Amino acid sequence: GAVVSQHPSWVICKSGTSVKIECRSLDFQATTMFWYRQFPKQSLMLMATSNEGSKATYEQGVEKDKFLINHASLTLSTLTVTSAHPEDSSFYICSARDGGTVGETQYFGPGTRLLVL
């Protein structure tokens, strides 16, 4: 099946620094990718939809200036957590759909665990 990778798999940073997380579709092209956040013992919450060649669309309550998303190519989307704070510590997961048909399976990356000290 289709593979989505994320890098890094985990990162520890100091409060106030920025962290970039990459999401790549390895064997397919993804015009749309999704970024989710998962807090401990909670479910995944959609943060934003990343669209290749255009601006991302953010869910209500998600600060677009804090979580910068860039979808520069059909196989790469990046999420940058700017001026990270301890409350941003979470598990970030991206997903992508293989193909042009709405309703097909989304493939998820392995996630990136962020710890802000």
Partner 1 sequence: KQEVTQIPAALSVPEGENLVLNCSFTDSAIYNLQWFRQDPGKGLTSLLLIQSSQREQTSGRLNASLDKSSGRSTLYIAASQPGDSATYLCAVPTQGGSEKLVFGKGTKLTVNP
Contact between 46 and partner 1 by CB under 8 A: the answer reads yes
Q: Which amino acid is at 11?
A: V
- Residues 59-98, one symbol each (x = binds partner 1 by CB under 8 A, - = not), give x-------------------------------x-x-x-x-
| Cα(113)–Cα(72) distance, integer angstroms | 23
Instruction: Write the burial class of residue 63 (CB in 10 Å: 0-12 exposed, 13-18 middle, 19+ buried).
Output: exposed
Residue of 43, 54, 65, 86 that binds partner 1 (CB under 8 A): 43
Query: Token pair for residue 43?
Result: 């479910």
Q: By CB under 8 A, is residue 28 in contact with partner 1?
A: no
Rg for the chain (alpha carbons), in Å? 13
What are the residues binding partner 1 (CB under 8 A)? Answer: 1, 4, 6, 32, 34, 41-46, 49, 59, 91, 93, 95, 97, 102-111, 113
